[in-house]
Structure 1
Amino acid sequence: MKNKRDLGLLTVTHGVNDMYQGAIPALLPFLQAGRGYSYTLITGITLAATGLSSLIQPLVGLLADRRPLSWLIPAGMVTAGVGVGLSGLGDAYVWTWFAVALAGIGLAAYHPAGAMAARTLGGGDARSMSVFAVGGNIGVALAPLYVSVVINGAGVSGTWLLALPAVVMGAVCLVTRRSWRVTTTTHPGTAGVERHAGQAGHSDDWRAFGTLSVISVFWSIPYVVMGSLAALYVISRFGVSAATGSATLTAFTAGGVVGTLAGGWSAERWGRLAALRYGYLVSALAVAGVVLMPEIAGVLVCAFLYGTVLFVPFAAQVTLAQDYLPTRIGTASGLTLGVTLSAGGLLSPLFGMLADAWGVRAVLATLIGILLVPAALAWRLPEPRAAEGQPTGGHSNRPDVMSPQSDQAQESR
């Protein structure tokens, strides 16, 4: 019961944090309309949010395996908010680029610590991870609406208002002195449960983890490309306003909320590997609908369906990665989430150049083929090796080993 409350608060911080992940693509149509940026420059801003984070997030995961870094949960969230808040205060493209890069650093710092905390609070099952993940999806889904209200009311220079939720939530964490004590496999203060897994023969499966990392790359590309170009696609194809175009992004991210919850449920019912295999296949069909539907209403429906089925594999991927590397939970979280959030962003300028050359509709059509790659690779993934006396498939018999502590109590440990 205590853990449910703690997981709930952690999920709220995830929602606030990931709202800034969604705010960056939501800002792009307004930046293009107000400053005349090309698709290449627009996707360069997406690169700013992911370039440094692709390096930082795995390093944070490695460090998290050695010492508790739970303070990064509020610190990363606030940094992400401040970066987005600064993004519109300067007219120069370089200012916006570096401000968004700062936000990306905050997003990268938050996720490994947050995922480890969610795993320990939830006992490692896919449903608990999906609850944590859906908090982020809700934040991403609310971002276009929040950005539209702020920018339509205050202009691009009013982006400082976007930082307020992070500042408020950071103050809540400070006032409540809420800290999540993340157990690790190598830290001296670790409860013996995680360490026991390695001693009982639950070894790391780097080959399966490598295959899953490749799958994560091919999840990231369709996610980031659709997030960066969906609103611009509808604006260019149907001649609607930036605010109306953002409705496509809202439909896509709202579908992610539904898909994350459905993914956790389906992974528990039919297995995590099934969630991956069939989620990617149906995603390819949904993208085809986005590209081929002749009316904007049909595009919105298909964008919602695409977000739903694309996120079905998400929670399963994170818990599978942690189970493939049971002695390196932080590394697994950092690498998987780092790849998931960053790989597509690193390639986004390429897709921006292609959009300038071919048109954004043709670029979105390439996602159909891209999604078939992880669908095929998912059939090569094995079930994680079970430690002696423990089940596979994301369930765990572990006792609760994590609870909120005051900062003073944690330091005394």
Structure 2
Amino acid sequence: MSPTKPIKYSTISILSLAHMLNDMYSNYLPQMLPFLVAATALTTTRAAILVSVFTISSSFIQPLFGYFLDRQGKRWLVHVGTLWMAIMLSLTGLVHNYLLLVVLAGLAGLGTAAFHPQASTMITVVSGDRKAVFLSTFVAFGNIGFALSPLLLVPLFQTYGLHATIYTVIPGIFVALLLFFFAPKNDVLGGNAPTLLEVLHSLRSARSELLTITGIIAIRSLAYTGLLTILPLYFQAQKLSSIASSHLVFIMLFSGAIGGVIGGLISDNYGRKPLIVSSLILSTPLFYGFLHSHGTLSIVFLALAGASLLSSFSVTVVAAQEAIPNNKSLAAGLSMGFAGGIGGLMVIIIGRIGDLYGLSSAISILFFLPLVAGIIALFMKSRPSAKAGRLSARC
């Protein structure tokens, strides 16, 4: 057994657990929305703005953190970022002013913006030639955290009210301490820090490929964030109970976590582009199948749609890192952050459509978007699969 393996797997385990908690917080505000709407008569547009502000602040700042981390490798950002987000979100149920709520959402987003580029770069550096598989595992834990949010938070808010948000800081404190003592040291990144000129040269040389990947992620992010925002409101309008609604969202997100791992395995064996194109194009008919069916069949369609939509999540991050391999944190920031922020910003438009034309119209648009992203993915650069690279290296 290689002596590096215990370090590799312990790093992946610690960071994946932290990612699960981090993304549970990232799906915090959508679970509050039905309760906020009931308590304050919040419009769909204002609800979408609240989620978008968190998404934007957590996303657009990520490339800046990514560039900073490529140069500095600041380990402390993973635990400070997690604790910061936990504190900000735990205060949201205690305020009654909408503008203050928006400010807290924006401040909370900075925490996850600090966490993701550093943590994802640590994962890819220790993953050898299995980057997509291990990053998919890391992402899968994040998606499990997303999936657990409705199961844990909806019963909490329903039983104790929105003031119970103050108690949700406790898991954040626990994981921040775990990261403080056990996260890998700065030297896990290694290598020389890139200069600004080197970064600009990397971006220019890969601009066409990065623009394509960014477009794919932005549209997929709009569909994903939009569904997280609109689906609970749609289920509420369909007279589903909060608990039943949370179960359906859990099914979609948990299936997405499983799909992410499977997608990583497939992309390592058959290439990034085929996986991204096929999974996104397949998502749209599966989502429409959910919308136009009933009972168990409808739930099966929703699970398959969630798995298909999120199976390319980590694969697009790895594709961006392969496009600019000397700037992995910046690539993670661009793909997980900036592109996702563009999608988050556009959710406000979807919310407005929901107010003007009904939530069913907004949902139908969101279901159509993965097909658009899949068509754009046809223009991605084709690269040899990781499996092909391993085989050629042995020859």
TM-score under structure 1 normalisation?
A: 0.86
User: Given the alignment, which residue of 49, 60, 68 partners 2:73?
Assistant: 68
Displacement after TM superposition at 1:383 (Å): 2.8
Displacement after TM superposition at 1:297 (Å): 4.8
2:305 aligns to what? 306
* Alignment-mate amino acid for residue 249 of structure 1: V
Displacement after TM superposition at 1:185 (Å): 5.3
2:135 aligns to what? 129
Report matched runs for 1:3-402 at 5 Å.
3-123=8-128, 125-176=131-182, 179=185, 181-183=187-189, 186-187=192-193, 204-237=205-238, 239-293=239-293, 295=294, 297-384=296-383
Among the aligned pairs, what percent are the same residue? Answer: 25
Displacement after TM superposition at 1:110 (Å): 0.9
Between the aligned partners of 1:139 and 1:395, the Cα distance in structure 2 is: 33
1:401 aligns to what? none
Between the aligned partners of 1:102 and 1:82, the Cα distance in structure 2 is: 10
1:408 aligns to what? none
Displacement after TM superposition at 1:280 (Å): 0.5
Displacement after TM superposition at 1:332 (Å): 0.8
For residues 50-95 of structure 1, what are the alpha-carbon distances to aligned partners after superposition, in whole Å with 9 as ceiling and x for unaligned? 2223331111111122111222111111112112111111111122
Cα pair 2:269 2:387 within 8 Å, conserved: no
Distance 1:149 1:349, change over 3 A: same
Cα pair 2:257 2:307 within 8 Å, conserved: yes
Between the aligned partners of 1:269 and 1:366, the Cα distance in structure 2 is: 33
Between the aligned partners of 1:16 and 1:358, the Cα distance in structure 2 is: 36
Between the aligned partners of 1:127 and 1:168, the Cα distance in structure 2 is: 27
Distance 1:298 1:354, change over 3 A: farther
Displacement after TM superposition at 1:395 (Å): 5.9
How many residues of Structure 1 are paired with residues of Structure 2 in the alignment? 378
1:407 aligns to what? none
* Alignment-mate amino acid for residue 40 of structure 1: T
Cα pair 1:65 1:185 within 8 Å, conserved: no
Displacement after TM superposition at 1:45 (Å): 0.8
Between the aligned partners of 2:206 and 2:240, the Cα distance in structure 1 is: 50
Between the aligned partners of 2:220 and 2:387, the Cα distance in structure 1 is: 21
Bigger helix share: 2
Distance 1:396 1:110, change over 3 A: farther
Between the aligned partners of 1:17 and 1:297, the Cα distance in structure 2 is: 31
TM-score under structure 2 normalisation?
A: 0.89
Cα pair 1:230 1:248 within 8 Å, conserved: no
Displacement after TM superposition at 1:296 (Å): 5.8
Displacement after TM superposition at 1:350 (Å): 1.0
Between the aligned partners of 1:30 and 1:382, the Cα distance in structure 2 is: 45
* Alignment-mate amino acid for residue 216 of structure 1: I
Cα pair 2:30 2:51 within 8 Å, conserved: yes
* Alignment-mate amino acid for residue 9 of structure 2: K
Displacement after TM superposition at 1:147 (Å): 0.5
Displacement after TM superposition at 1:180 (Å): 5.0
Between the aligned partners of 1:151 and 1:163, the Cα distance in structure 2 is: 14
Cα pair 1:150 1:161 within 8 Å, conserved: no
Displacement after TM superposition at 1:241 (Å): 2.2
Displacement after TM superposition at 1:230 (Å): 1.1
Distance 1:40 1:205, change over 3 A: same
Give ranges in structure 2 of 5+ residues lacking alignment. Answer: none
Cα pair 1:276 1:375 within 8 Å, conserved: yes
